[in-house]
Amino acid sequence: MTVSFHRIALPSPEATARLATALAARLHPGDTILLEGPIGSGKTHFARALIQARLVLDNAPLEDVPSPTFTLVQTYDTGKVEIWHADLYRLTHPDEVEELGLTQAFNQAICLVEWPDRLGDLAPDQALTLLFSQGDTPDLRWLSLQGSPAWKERLDPVLIEVVDEHTS
């Protein structure tokens, strides 16, 4: 069962990075985060911050974290877990996801997927969905979280520590 469980104001890119950093420590192999929102809403910024934070947490060498817009998938090995960052914007059919190897990665890696609507029925049932939207000032973003009750229980402490929760 998927439920919406928070709507959060992210007033700056730094606030988005703080949330991503806090979340990075809570992720395990097999966790998938679906990043939804229009171009410029903060999806790639969030993914970059999360990947860089996880590299630091796992004492892995720091790497440049480019957008996978043209490569479709970038992978990172922290020595403790593999992280897959996918940008599916340019895909035209869910069958192309299989060719990338992404469905296998859902079971064994931490996966961050931008433009998850391209997955069709291949989206993992237990994924956490982060819906980004732009606010009424240039830096403000709104983030809505959707996932299983287990995700809510797992993330409530992170959200309380990092950001002020707002409701619409």
CATH classification of the domain holding 109: 3.40.50.300
Q: What is the domain extent for residue 152?
A: 3-162
Average pLDDT over residues 51-59: 97
Average pLDDT over residues 30-52: 97
Number of compact structural domains in the chain: 1
In angstroms, the CA 54 to CA 70 distance is 23
Average pLDDT over residues 120-129: 94
Q: Please report whether residue 104 resides in a domain.
A: yes
Q: Please indicate whether residue 5 or residue 67 has the higher confidence score (pLDDT).
A: 67
Average pLDDT over residues 119-138: 95
In angstroms, the CA 74 to CA 59 distance is 19
Find residue 86's DSSP bridge partners: 73, 113
Q: Please report whether residue 168 resides in a domain.
A: no
In angstroms, the CA 126 to CA 105 distance is 14
Summarize pLDDT for 146-165 with one digit per residue, the tens.
999 899 989 988 887 775 44
Q: How many CB atoms are located within 10 Å of the residue 56 CB? A: 13
Average pLDDT over residues 17-23: 95
pLDDT of residue 160: 74
Average pLDDT over residues 122-141: 95
pLDDT of residue 165: 42
pLDDT of residue 166: 42
On the question of pLDDT at 73 being above 60, the answer is yes
In angstroms, the CA 62 to CA 27 distance is 18
Where residue 167 falls among pLDDT bands split at 50, 70, 90? very low
Q: Please report whether residue 167 resides in a domain.
A: no
